[in-house]
Homo-oligomer: A and B are copies of this chain.
Amino acid sequence: MFRLLLAAAVIALAPAAHAADAKQMDENRKVVLQFYEAAINQKDFDAAAKFLGPRYTQHNPRAADGLEGLKAFLAFLRDKFPEYHSDIKRAFTDGDYVILHVHNMPTPGSRGNAIVDIFKLENGKIVEHWDVRQEIPEQSANSNTMF
Interface residues of A (CB under 8 A from B): 1, 4-5, 8-9, 11-12, 14-15, 18-19, 22, 57-65, 69, 90, 92-94, 97, 99, 101, 114-116, 118, 130, 132-134, 136-137, 139-147
Contacts and interface: CB of A to CB of B under 8 A. Distances in A.
Given A9-B8, A12-B12, A94-B93, A139 B1 contact: no
**Copies of this chain assembled into the complex:** 2
B99 A142 contact: no
A60 B9 CA distance: 49
Contacts of A12: 8, 11-12, 15
A140 B115 CA distance: 18
B5 A144 contact: no
